[in-house]
Structure 1
Amino acid sequence: MIKGEFMGKKTNTANLTNNMIDKLEPSDKAYDVRDSGESGFYIRVYPSGIKTFRYEYRRGKHYTIGRYNKHTFKVAMAREAIGLVRGKVSKGVDPNEEKKQACDLRQEKANQYTFNAFLEQKYKPWYRATHPKTTDATFQVLESNFKPLFGTKPLTAITLEKVEHWRSKEQLERRRVRIKKQGKEKVRVEEPIGAATLNRYIERLSAFLSKAVEYKYLDSNPLIGLKKLKVAEKNRVRFLSEKEFLNLLKALDDREEQLRAKRDKGNAWRKARGYTLYPDLRQQAFVDYLKPMVLISLGSGVRFGSLIRLEWERHVDSEDKDNVILKLTPDIVKTEKGYDVPLDENTSNILIQWYDQTYGSHQGKGWVFPGKKPGSHIANVKKSWNSLLELAGIEDFHWHDQRHDYASQHVMSGTDLYTVMELLGHTDPKMTKKYAHLASEHKIAAAKKLGKRREDILKKADGK
């Protein structure tokens, strides 16, 4: 049934069903189709294609029930809502007046709460209880970016137009300072703030406003419909050459020896003066967290944020000590579903050694990489990582590039892209496709090796 069957008739009447409504097409003007069974019940079809259930509860008095959606708001639900409206009308209640009063009450409530008041009194207590791991980062974004703009204003003052204007201004004017290496020197470089960063900031503001809607301080989230900024696709695939890989391993060992020698010297000084000695680092598998973190990162491809939040009891399956499995749960990864990462024998042994060395601080239950404060995990390794790269003579290699290296080495070893996608926890094959060219290059290189081998065989034969 389509729009043409109704247009031109004096009365548009039909038995309203989901299938029939799906087939109604928009016209250049809004039109109504009344239900043949329920008096006063009809659907209005707008030129935009939106279809809204309405109910005429008195002559000339129309009440909007809600927007039709074949998944979330169907005909049966609209009929139930009409029953409630009819009951109110029979008691002398005007549903439109009741809706207006409720709206005015929410408006008054919203005006009573400023951005600051809702943040401090409502949002922060709820967020601390439900999202303890991201509390500081979220509050820092809201307070540094939006508090200066909306702090003392009511929640209703936050509009899509104002937020979009703020975003445009930030894109044009805001700069952030990064430290970059130019040759052997480190220089401060100013860069414009990225689109992805601004998108994250607005996502946090939108979540804040959605909570205000849930608590009935706002009728709706004003940022619904605000399009995200387009983010340039990242195709960086940086992996270690064989030489760089060996240099990195050597630098890890050299760093360990340097720290052990430093501890030996310090203990010799303390012993000569009768002071208590520090633990002998030569009796430990590792001097600190860096070597196991790097080797496990290279051997698993796990993101830094997930790596530092690993817990022995929740995320490490070491039943087979030569084939440990990291069981990454949704709360520590970027995807809605968790995924498993099996480790090779060498990486498994590194993790087991680290477990044995740090057992006293976690008793088999706590963080895999505990921080200095009791109950905390390591949060930042930037200084030690940069020093390690300098010692290894490796440039332009970020911590996250270890994940690229893990995937690249898999592909160049012959692992198919689908398996690599599963190992990385990717949900979209497009994210893994950036490694596809490595498979081609590897095959070409293999073909060249085969050709060279056959040439050598022929030369030997000719020589005979």
Structure 2
Amino acid sequence: MSKIRLSKSVVDKLAPCPFDTVYWDTSLIGFGVRVKPNNTKSYVVQYRSKTTGRSRRKTIGQHGPLMSFAQAKEIATGLLSDVLRGQDPVAEAKSKRDAPSVQDLALQYLEIHAIPKKRPKSVANDQSMLNRLILPKLGNHRASGVGHKDIQTLHNSLKQTPYQANRVLSLLSKMFELSIKWGWRTDNPVKGVEKFHEEKRYRWLSDDELGRLVVALNQHQNQKAANAIRLQLLTGARIGEVLTARWVDFDLERGVWIKPSHHTKQKRTEHLPLSTASQELLAGIFDIKNEGSEFVFPGRSPQKPLVDLKKFWRTVVTKAKIQDYRIHDNRHTHASQLVSSGMSLAIVGRLLGHTNPMTTQRYSHLADDPLRAAAEIMASKLK
């Protein structure tokens, strides 16, 4: 170990030895320059951590055009001052290097939160958004280093698909909310990023369209898929609930569909009364089933439910000459028929499994129809 008063000219004149040699500055204790046998010179600081008592050495940079002696000494002075205040620059730098990335955060989110607590379909949607949209842009970023601007830039890049962009924003918000609880960062960078405007869909079938849909279902060769749609229309259930329904979920003697909590969006067990038509439909399906499956609508393998009706649905709505109408809109058609017939919004909401009454309010204007008809009764008498 050599101790000399370092300066730019002294450092320039230092000659290499057969082994690494460190020359320590006598004017700033802990600051030195390391000379390698190939004459590469690098500035270093060495100190003892006040917290652990361990000796630490940190390389500041290589002597040359990008790092002058004056710059190196100024940096060393700052680092050694931090040490006097109880900090540990080497440990802090290592902590930053080892800090979890957004990729790590995504894995933790899926393993600790999504998979144990969300429905499989929701988990699949999260994984799809992560793999396609989030991780390609932010995956290598440190979770602690992602800023508001990073989130805003990603959200803006998805403006052509506003619904998807907003779902990505919600997913990121939940992930960073959890990162705060896990001690990975102290704030949520998603806060304050404004969502894109979403036009809410209020599409349901008129009586004429509904009639054409029934005919198209009756004429289609795939009656298993047709029966799934019929059950959805009769019950107002989500198509996912219909396709994953098991025979043990139905009590046909009492006329009740007991939806397990892990199959419902609200994550609670629901008891849905079945109409006579629903019971007859299920009884007919049960009579002809020969797959030996626990599912009401088994897929190609009896051990798994029917999964995808997209191709079938396109064929049916095309045949029925119905435009801009999704399978999910069958819930709206079910609800609109009930409300138009005089059923209260509260009861319709319960049948559909709505926990928020405002969700059912989209049908409120239809409730005027039976009231208006009732008001006309007295008018007809006076005529």
- Range class of TM-score, shorter chain: 0.5 to 0.7
SS in 2 for 1:289: helix
1:148–1:232 CA distance, 2 compared to 1 (3 A): closer
1:427–1:437 CA distance, 2 compared to 1 (3 A): same
Output the CA distance in 1 between the equivalents of 2:182 and 2:93.
10
List per-residue Cα deviations over 1:173-212 (Å, max 9, x = no partner). Answer: xxxxxxxxxxxxxxxxxxx212x42222122233444554
Cα displacement (A) at 1:301: 0.8
Task: Map 1:100-179 to 2 at 5 A.
Answer: 108=95, 111-117=98-104, 119=106, 122=108, 126=112, 130=116, 132-171=120-159
Output the CA distance in 2 between the equivalents of 1:210 and 1:106.
25
Higher-Rg structure is 2
User: In the alignment, is the contact (CA less than 8 A) between 2:101 and 2:139 conserved in 1?
Assistant: yes
Cα displacement (A) at 1:144: 1.4
Output the CA distance in 2 between the equivalents of 1:212 and 1:125.
13
1:367–1:200 CA distance, 2 compared to 1 (3 A): farther
Partner of 1:441: 369
In the alignment, structure 1 residue 298 sits paired with structure 2 residue 233: yes
Which runs of no fewer than 5 residues in structure 2 stay unpaired? 1-84
User: In the alignment, is the contact (CA less than 8 A) between 1:150 and 1:157 conserved in 2?
Assistant: no
1:153–1:404 CA distance, 2 compared to 1 (3 A): closer
CA RMSD, Structure 1 to Structure 2 (Å)? 3.3
Which runs of no fewer than 5 residues in structure 1 stay unpaired? 1-96, 172-191, 260-286, 456-464
Output the CA distance in 2 between the equivalents of 1:387 and 1:450.
47
The one-letter code matched in structure 2 to 1:149 is K
User: In the alignment, is the contact (CA less than 8 A) between 2:349 and 2:360 conserved in 1?
Assistant: yes
SS in 1 for 2:258: strand
Cα displacement (A) at 1:356: 3.4
Partner of 1:391: 319
User: In the alignment, is the contact (CA less than 8 A) between 2:180 and 2:186 conserved in 1?
Assistant: yes
Choose the corresponding residue for 2:343, options 412, 415, 428: 415
Provide the TM-score with structure 1 as the length reference: 0.55
The one-letter code matched in structure 1 to 2:266 is T
1:227–1:334 CA distance, 2 compared to 1 (3 A): farther
Choose the corresponding residue for 2:357, options 419, 425, 429: 429
1:111–1:436 CA distance, 2 compared to 1 (3 A): same
Output the CA distance in 1 between the equivalents of 2:349 and 2:94.
49
1:222–1:245 CA distance, 2 compared to 1 (3 A): closer
Choose the corresponding residue for 1:251, options 197, 200, 216: 216
Output the CA distance in 2 between the equivalents of 1:424 and 1:407.
8
The one-letter code matched in structure 1 to 2:161 is I
Output the CA distance in 2 between the equivalents of 1:413 and 1:128.
40
Output the CA distance in 2 between the equivalents of 1:292 and 1:340.
21
User: In the alignment, is the contact (CA less than 8 A) between 1:411 and 1:435 conserved in 2?
Assistant: yes
SS in 1 for 2:303: coil
Once the two structures are overlaid, the 10-residue window that deviates more, 397-406 or 125-134, is: 125-134
In the alignment, structure 1 residue 354 sits paired with structure 2 residue 320: no
Output the CA distance in 2 between the equivalents of 1:227 and 1:163.
8
In the alignment, structure 1 residue 203 sits paired with structure 2 residue 138: no
Partner of 1:222: 188
Output the CA distance in 2 between the equivalents of 1:151 and 1:390.
42
SS in 2 for 1:326: strand
Task: Map 1:271-310 to 2 at 5 A.
Answer: 287-310=222-245
Cα displacement (A) at 1:238: 2.0
User: Number of residues paired by the alignment?
Assistant: 295
Output the CA distance in 1 between the equivalents of 2:344 and 2:211.
25
User: In the alignment, is the contact (CA less than 8 A) between 2:340 and 2:370 conserved in 1?
Assistant: yes
Partner of 1:15: none
Partner of 1:22: none
Task: Map 1:178-193 to 2 at 5 A.
Answer: 192-193=160-161
Percent of aligned pairs with the same residue?
Answer: 22
The one-letter code matched in structure 1 to 2:259 is L
List per-residue Cα deviations over 1:66-125 (Å, max 9, x = no partner). Answer: xxxxxxxxxxxxxxxxxxxxxxxxxxxxxxx99x88xx77981773433335546x5555
Cα displacement (A) at 1:235: 5.6
1:375–1:207 CA distance, 2 compared to 1 (3 A): farther
The one-letter code matched in structure 2 to 1:351 is L
1:245–1:310 CA distance, 2 compared to 1 (3 A): same
Partner of 1:376: 304
List per-residue Cα deviations over 1:162-181 (Å, max 9, x = no partner). Answer: 1122212322xxxxxxxxxx
Output the CA distance in 2 between the equivalents of 1:387 and 1:306.
22
Partner of 1:77: none
SS in 1 for 2:297: coil
Output the CA distance in 1 between the equivalents of 2:96 and 2:244.
40
Output the CA distance in 2 between the equivalents of 1:148 and 1:215.
24
Partner of 1:271: none
Output the CA distance in 2 between the equivalents of 1:345 and 1:297.
14
List per-residue Cα deviations over 1:416-453 (Å, max 9, x = no partner). Answer: 12111111112222222222222212332455577668
In the alignment, structure 1 residue 319 sits paired with structure 2 residue 283: no
User: In the alignment, is the contact (CA less than 8 A) between 2:173 and 2:191 conserved in 1?
Assistant: no
Cα displacement (A) at 1:415: 1.1
Choose the corresponding residue for 2:202, options 222, 236, 244: 236
Provide the TM-score with structure 2 as the length reference: 0.66
